[in-house]
Amino acid sequence: MSNHQEVPITRVLIGFASAHGSTKGVAVRIGEIIRAEGFDVDVREFDEIDSIDAYGAAILGSAIHSQKWLPLAADFIRANSTALTARPVWLFSVCSIGDSSSFFSERMARLMRRRRKEPSIISEVRSRLDPRDHRYFAGVIERSQWTVAGDLFLRLCGGTFGDHRDWPDIERWASGIATSLQNEPGSAQRA
């Protein structure tokens, strides 16, 4: 049974934490897609969000560093987990191995996807938050951001530096969310 009470869905929050900007780019693109479907969308870094009261739905994402969501994102989820249970929530992680693209060779990515553990903050709040989905997107990696050991690991795994974001996948995911929102009981925008 859903634990969502009906907060009217006219405004949608897209919250993100990004160390080098690629997660921000994903959040902005998701925002453009949802906005194009007639929703009022705010795309905000987590430390710019005072309250989620005005929002009927939330799409929250973070870069992954050292297998974890960035501290700003994890702190936000913990601090707002009660308010978030009253709303439909989608989560996304930007990291080295997305669901549809990755930094590494396709064979290595397939192996790594099977062994991947969800970031701990998501496991921690999953039972309360009941997210509609959690999607992984590959991000961007530049040589200057990576350690020598990381550089070696990347090469051994058939990886490459650069922008590995799969924009059609990001756009499809966002369009799916817009359709779900249009079908929510409290939605002003009908599909």
Q: Which residues bind ligand FMN (CB under 6 A)?
A: 18-23, 63-67, 94-97, 139-141, 145
CB of 3 to ligand FMN, least distance (A): 30
Q: In angstroms, what is the minimal distance from the CB of 17 to ligand FMN?
A: 8
Tell which residue, 35, 66, 72, has the closest CA to residue 175: 35
What minimum distance in Å lies between the beta carbon of 146 and ligand FMN? 6
CA distances from 110 to 103, 116, 154, 179 (A): 12, 10, 15, 29
122-157 as b/e: b if 16+ CB within 10 A: beebeeebebbebbbbbbbbeeeeeeeeeeeebeeb
For residue 94, the minimal CB distance to ligand FMN (Å) is 5
Q: How far apart are CA 103 and CA 7, in angstroms?
A: 39
Q: CA 104, 131, 62: angle at the middle one, nearest 5?
A: 45
Residue among 145 and 179 whose Cβ is closer to ligand FMN = 145
Among 46, 11, 12, 43, residue whose Cα is nearest residue 28? 43
Smallest gap from residue 165 Cβ to ligand FMN (A): 8
Q: Which is nearer to ligand FMN, 93 or 187 (CB)?
A: 93
Using the minimum distance from each CB to ligand FMN, give the nearer residue, 125 or 157: 157
Give the Å distances, CA to CA, from 180 to 89, 134, 138, 183.
11, 15, 24, 5
Q: Which amino acid is at 118?
A: E
State the minimum distance, in angstroms, from the CB of residue 139 to ligand FMN: 2
Judge contact between 85 and 49, C-beta under 8 A. no
Q: 7 vs 94, which CB is nearer to ligand FMN?
A: 94
Residue nearest to ligand FMN (CB): 139
CB nearer ligand FMN, residue 26 or residue 181: 26
Closer of 23 and 187 to ligand FMN (Cβ): 23
